[in-house]
């Protein structure tokens, strides 16, 4: 009697739809975490990807989808460092070509720790679907060849047998925005505190900004007191209101000068920031950071002026700058722009 097919043990007692009349293209409703089983490029890639996807559904009993992605290496890209104008350097690829790849994605997993993910991944790595014997594009897959060369460059440490999908790996659904995977951001109370402000930092387009002023409110640590503040909406009546007022006044004065200023208010302080940047700087070979010249310009422009010199019995003093009767911080610092996680806003279209 013949042994049962290997793939029967992938997900026992579960039937996965495999309708030949459906395309099963990847959508935002899938995932958010998936397994990238394999990819195909070149002549016949679309058909090979579809054949593998259908075989994984029909024979292996896993939810597989096809994702089409175009790669264009003919355009300029952002390199390390900055030009003389303080803008990121622009570079071009040596091989400026473009091609379309068809990836086969597997699974609908809520997290990388979801039940069955690692087991399915390991079994996919050892599986040998028929498409890898008959596929048109298999031997000319640009992405697969690249992964193989990278693997060969790494010392071989795993001697276990591998199949044609041995390079499968866990990844995110590429159709979901970055915000979905960000750690939980400000809670709802903090979001509400900022939503009606004219210079809301939560709407800053960049990943980083420079904090130039901060105003402390009443620090609340006790969880019962925090809950009472939330339930009774007492934030506006606390010292936080005065801190917020200063921040808004300073940001307004900066905006009148044509400065890109923002405000952010939370349970402990209000702050004013200036600028919007994708990065603070770039790493150097010596391990230090080459700071973005535009960021440095803002820090130098708002930091305090040196006052009295240091003596053996005292430290040097610095006089903070002022605007509209409000003082800036003596030492501005780059900070990450807070983001609100939007994971809860996505409804799942599949049962897990």
203 within a domain of the structure (yes/no):
yes
pTM: 0.49
More confident residue, 217 or 290: 290
Residue 269 belongs to what domain range? 185-344
**147 and 53 share a domain?**
yes
Do 136 and 43 meet the contact criterion of CB atoms below 8 Å apart?
yes
pLDDT higher than threshold 70 for residue 331? yes
Instruction: Note whether 197 and 170 are same-domain residues.
Output: no
Do 209 and 170 lie in a common domain?
A: no
Span 80-128, pLDDT tens digits: 666 666 777 776 656 666 678 899 999 888 888 887 899 899 989 988 8
**What pLDDT, on a 0 to 100 scale, did the predictor assign at position 267?**
83
Q: Residue 290 has which token pair?
A: 């080459």
Of the two residues 98 and 174, the one the predictor is more confident about is 174
Listed range (126-130, 132-136, 149-153, 165-169) with the worst mean pLDDT: 149-153
Listed in sequence order, the residues at least 6 apart from 348 whose beta carbon sits closer than 8 Å to its beta carbon are 29, 108
Whether 153 and 56 share a structural domain: yes
* Same domain flag for 228 and 128: no
Residue 302, phi then psi, degrees to nearest 5: -115, -5
CA distance linking residue 321 with residue 309, whole number of Å: 18
The total of other beta-carbon atoms located within 10 Å of residue 321's CB is 17
Whether 259 and 144 map to the same domain: the answer is no
Q: What confidence category does residue 324 fall into, taking pLDDT thresholds of 50, 70 and 90?
A: very high
My answer on whether 235 and 167 are in the same domain is: no
Q: What letter does residue 181 receive in the DSSP assignment?
A: G
């Amino acid at each position: 009697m013949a042994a049962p097919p290997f793939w029967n043990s992938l997900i026992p007692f579960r039937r996965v739809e495999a309708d030949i009349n459906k395309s099963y293209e990847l959508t935002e409703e899938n995932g958010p975490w998936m397994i990238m089983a394999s990819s195909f490029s070149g002549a016949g890639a679309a058909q090979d990807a579809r054949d593998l996807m259908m075989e994984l559904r029909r024979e292996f009993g896993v939810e597989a989808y096809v994702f089409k992605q175009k790669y264009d290496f003919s355009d300029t890209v952002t390199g390390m460092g900055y030009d003389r104008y303080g803008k990121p350097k622009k570079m071009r690829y040596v091989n400026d070509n473009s091609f379309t790849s068809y990836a086969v994605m597997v699974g609908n997993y809520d997290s990388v720790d979801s039940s069955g993910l690692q087991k399915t991944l390991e079994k996919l790595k050892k599986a040998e679907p028929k498409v890898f014997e008959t596929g048109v594009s298999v031997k000319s897959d640009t992405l697969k060849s690249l992964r193989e060369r990278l693997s060969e460059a790494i010392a071989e440490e795993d001697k276990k047998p591998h199949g044609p999908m041995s390079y499968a790996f866990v990844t995110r659904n590429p159709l979901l925005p970055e915000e979905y995977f960000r750690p939980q951001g400000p809670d709802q109370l903090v979001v509400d505190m900022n939503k009606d402000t004219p210079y809301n930092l939560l709407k800053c387009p960049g990943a980083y900004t420079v904090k130039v002023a901060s105003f402390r409110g009443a620090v609340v640590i006790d969880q019962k007191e925090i809950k009472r503040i939330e339930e009774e909406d007492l934030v506006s009546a606390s010292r936080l209101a005065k801190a917020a007022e200063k921040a808004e006044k300073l940001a307004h004065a900066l905006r009148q000068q044509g400065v890109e200023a923002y405000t952010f208010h939370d349970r402990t302080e209000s702050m004013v920031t200036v600028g919007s940047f994708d990065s603070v700087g770039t790493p150097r070979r010596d391990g230090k950071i080459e700071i973005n010249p535009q960021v440095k310009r803002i820090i130098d422009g708002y930091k305090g002026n040196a006052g009295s010199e240091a003596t053996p019995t005292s430290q040097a003093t610095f006089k903070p700058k002022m605007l509209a009767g409000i003082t800036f911080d003596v030492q501005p610092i780059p900070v990450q722009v807070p983001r609100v996680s939007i994971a809860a806003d996505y409804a799942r279209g599949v049962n897990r």
